[in-house]
Structure 1
């Protein structure tokens, strides 16, 4: 989509429009999470979400044993989220990857807005792998 700002032609594309071949469908689910129950984290699935993944890794050399973990930044459609409240996404929801059978805790959530229109175009979820007792 073309737009203009101060007479300059701009291109307004969401991440989904810019990278349509990167969209992953039918693999990721969002669901309710109950953290730290007597038996551990519990996951209750809600619905599938279409995502674009930005992968990364981090390590903590100050911990014993050293922790190596995968950090994923996941871009999701706002209309597929149970809420746009970032606090609720971090505290009450979790993701599941059915292809790898792995669960991911949401440790950071952000709203991605179109800088020209102000419309919400995507939700950014930073996730780390976790365990659940009912998975």
Structure 2
């Protein structure tokens, strides 16, 4: 005799309850319960994710996992707020910002020289760079040369 869907759902509920009461590790993906892998390992069909009896069990376990993840995240945040560490990280950020600005200026200078070379190759004229300010460059198209 074939079992009714409700009987199958009750059996699946018993399997899930037994699993959640045990100390077995839960399959987790991206900080959430991996329902597909869990149901597959227990031999339960994927329809249990939407079943009225088993869905609340899965959702409750997902909430427990989310709460434990948030507690560990708060502990890490509280540990990492020491002022020395923050000052060190800020100084490193400032150093990296300076290095980035220097590298960007070198890259701009390289691009300008590349533009000058390509302009010379196309037209036969030189682009003369005249520095007005150390932080600024202007390009003059000299037609006589």
Please give the range of the TM-score, normalised by the shorter of the 2 chains: under 0.3
The structure whose residues are more often helix, as a share, is 2
With the length of structure 2 as denominator, give the TM-score of the two structures. 0.22
With the length of structure 1 as denominator, give the TM-score of the two structures. 0.23
The structure whose residues are more often strand, as a share, is 1
Q: Which has the larger radius of gyration?
A: 2
The answer to which structure, 1 or 2, has the higher relative contact order (CA under 8 A, 6+ apart) is 1
